[in-house]
Chain A
Amino acid sequence: MNLESREKGFLIAGLLGALVFLLLEFVALPQWGSAESSSNRLFLAQKELRYSRELLAAKQLRESEVVLRGRLEEQEHRLLVAPDSNEAGAQLQRWLADHATEQQLGLVRSEFLPPVPLRDNYIRIPVRLELSGRITQLTQFLTGVTSGDRITEIEELQLSGGSDKEKRVHCVVVIAAVMAKPK
């Protein structure tokens, strides 16, 4: 096939155009797009790298974990220790009755309430008590219960009476303690 120089020129120009198009489409423009967005990605990478370095440099994290674990274990010694919630309820009831007796309070009635989960790790064990006695004894009982060797919470408190000569008070109180969830 004989081509004139003009036709050869067109052919070469066409081939060059196609080559340039392919280079632009599949090499230059994708690379350029990647390079153009690199400043944002670079910023994120810098941030991530700085975070990683700081994380690795923070040796106190391990020490902090030990301290926290110690403190938590110390707190957990004050939880009810029982294989299930029923036994824990009985344990709490017995412990409260002992404290009431110590303060010479009359225990009129005691009642279990349904246990409630407390986050993932714990169960809340509530007990309702009806007590009668002097107000001073009653406050000593409540203070002793809330600041004793068990972690407890007074959920409800009702005091009534105190108008008689002996100043006796009738008290209905709901006290909850915490036990670790059985594994």
Chain B
Amino acid sequence: MLNKRFLLKAFGTWSRKLRPWKLRSSGSSEHWNLRGPILGVEIRGSSLFLACIHPGLVGVGLAGTHVIPNFSELKPGELQEKLRNFLKPLNVDDPVVVLGLPRSEVIVRLVSLPLLAPKSVEEALTLQVEMFKPTDTERFCWDASFLPHETQLSASLALAPQQRVERLVNLFAEAGYPMTCLTVSQFSLVHLYLRGAQKHISPRLVLLDSKGSDLELAVLEGEKLVASRAFSLLDRNLPAEQLVTSELQQALSTLRWQEGEKPAILLSGAVPERVEQALGTFGTVEHFEARLRREGMGTEFHLGEFLGAIAVAVAGIGRGRRNYQVNLVPRELRPSRRRWQRLPTYALVGANAVLLLAVGLRAPVQNLVLLHQYQKEIAHLKPQTDEMKGVLEKDKNLRQTLILVQEFEHRGRQPLEALAEVAKQLPEDASLNLFTWRKNQIELAGAAKSASSLLSLLQASQQFEDVKFNGALTGDSSGMERFRLEMRTKEKR
């Protein structure tokens, strides 16, 4: 069962649009995080099948696919142009290049070793390479993938002629796209299956990959690769179905499988229908793509022959020698990792962040600095200020006392001023026989020819208010009217 986290929604689309590939697995110990674009290149006959994957917002996206025919006749400049024409519209400048060699160009040996120290394993494998290499005159590049199992270590050893490896490495290096990893296409497919399937791995699996007339066969027991071979339909004059069943029988005959334990058969590429029917006698046949479809992972697109190239690209994610990730490029020929490549970008981003922070903090920090300065100056001036505050307080008290005394004196003259105003307002024929002043309240009593007119006269005065008669007017024998009035002096504001 393939894991949903693993495989893409739009696996195999020709579209240039990024498709989410949910490759990031949480909880997996493997390195799944794709940090930059990877160009997977698979050699299929005389053509290069390209697939470019790219980090997306959620997972991994398939940026695009392409085919370069007759690549062996291309000069580095021509290859560069073709690769650039493919990558430029995808906005990919500097991808990690991973090349997948066909199984037929690689010698694969599956060996079991006792669990040893890494150094001893390396020595043991070197010995194995010396034993297995077909000629002593030719030099080989090799790498191995390991699978620890109880007391043993299963190693899948891949050897490729150094001359062939160097030619490919130089071709891509001269084309301006140095190769980071050279793997085996079959291993990449196994890797894709295992890492995608995670915990739902079939106990027995036959993986048949068809590349036109070439077929690659891998047999797995759980995660362990137990048989690997490649053959051509053109090798023997046999019908395709007979040839395939014959090869499969040969492969299975070396394994001690019990009767009735049928393997699951996974087909990749365009396998003829009659071959598929013949394989049905061995076990349940399913297409790799059909399995994706069954898992509901975006199958409206046909992956076709690019599945291998995508598997090669996926094999370039992360490092390690588990899960059939091998690299046949000698260390000295691998492009050095440019650790400081993005340093200027990071430095600029950092500088921008610092500038933004500085702009944001300027006002509060400036205020704080000014505040400290002001507080210092205030503290310095405090003794003199306190003295002056004392002077100011004394000044205020003196003023208040002076005003008090002046008001006292001024109030003392108010009754006389009121008396003078009454005398001024009264007509000639009027006389007073009582004038009382107490707390601004005035009471008058007297006689006049027309006492009623007095009211309006006194009301017209600026000094008095609330003028009213305090009793009825009475006449006397001389014809005068006796009156009694009361009023208030106005408060001066």
Contacts and interface: CB of A to CB of B under 8 A. Distances in A.
Interface of A: 6, 32, 34-36, 38-39, 41-42, 45-46, 48-49, 52-53, 55-56, 58, 61-62, 64-65, 68-69, 71-72, 75-76, 118-119, 121-122, 139, 142-143, 146-147, 151-163, 175-176, 178
11 contacts: A34-B368, A45-B378, A52-B381, A69-B398, A72-B402, A119-B404, A142-B415, A146-B409, A155-B438, A159-B434, A178-B405
B391 A62 contact: yes
B477 interface: no
Interface in B385-404: 385, 388-389, 391-392, 394-395, 398-399, 401-402, 404
Given A146-B416, A157-B437, A71 B402 contact: yes
A71 B404 CA distance: 13
B436 interface: yes
A138 B364 CA distance: 77
Given A45-B371, A75-B405, A35 B364 contact: yes
Contacts of A41: 371
A64 B395 contact: yes
B435 A159 contact: yes
Given A61-B395, A151-B405, A156-B437, A162 B432 contact: yes
Contacts of B437: 154, 156-158
B433 interface: yes
Contacts of B434: 158-160
B238 to A, nearest CB: 52
A156 B437 CA distance: 6
Nearest to A55: B388
A161 B405 CA distance: 34
Given A121-B401, A163-B433, A55 B392 contact: yes
A66 B421 CA distance: 39
B411 interface: yes
Nearest to A151: B409
Given A35-B364, A65-B394, 20 more contacts: A35-B368, A42-B374, A48-B374, A48-B378, A56-B381, A72-B405, A118-B404, A118-B408, A122-B405, A139-B419, A142-B416, A153-B409, A155-B438, A156-B437, A156-B439, A157-B415, A159-B435, A162-B433, A178-B405, A178-B408
Nearest to A172: B436
Contacts of B392: 55, 61
B415 A154 contact: yes
Contact of B367 (A38, A48, A64, A139): A38
Contact of A65 (B365, B398, B409, B433): B398
A35 B402 contact: no
B367 A42 contact: yes
B395 to A, nearest CB: 5
Nearest to B391: A61
Contact of A157 (B361, B381, B409, B436): B436
A61 B388 contact: yes
Contact of A151 (B399, B408, B416): B408
Leading 9 A-B pairs by shortest Cβ distance: A153-B412, A35-B364, A38-B367, A45-B374, A68-B398, A157-B415, A159-B435, A157-B437, A52-B385
A122 B409 CA distance: 14
Contact of B413 (A34, A58, A118, A147): A147
Interface string B376-388: 0110011011001
Contacts of B431: 162-163
A175 to B, nearest CB: 8
Interface in B63-117: none
A42 B370 contact: yes
| Among A52, A61, A156, A175: residue with most chain B CB under 10 A | A52
Contacts of A68: 395, 398-399, 402
Given A49-B374, A162-B432, A139 B416 contact: yes
B438 A58 contact: no
A119 to B, nearest CB: 6
Contact of A55 (B363, B365, B389, B433): B389
A162 B388 CA distance: 60
A13 B79 CA distance: 46
B416 A154 contact: yes
A76 B474 CA distance: 51
A6 B363 CA distance: 43
A173 to B, nearest CB: 8
A65 B412 contact: no
Nearest to B409: A151
Given A45-B371, A68-B402, A158-B435, A56 B411 contact: no
B307 to A, nearest CB: 32
Interface in B12-56: 29
Nearest to A39: B367
A128 to B, nearest CB: 12
A156 B435 CA distance: 11
A75 B414 contact: no
A116 B370 CA distance: 55
B414 A154 contact: yes
A32 B364 contact: yes
Given A143-B416, A160-B434, A153 B408 contact: yes
Contacts of B128: none
A62 B388 CA distance: 9
A55 B378 CA distance: 12
Nearest to B414: A154
B250 interface: no
A85 B404 CA distance: 19
A34 B369 CA distance: 12
Contacts of A162: 431-433
Contacts of A175: 412
A162 B416 CA distance: 17
Contacts of A38: 364, 367-368, 371
A163 B434 CA distance: 10
A133 to B, nearest CB: 15
A138 B39 CA distance: 126
B290 to A, nearest CB: 36
B406 interface: yes
B375 interface: yes
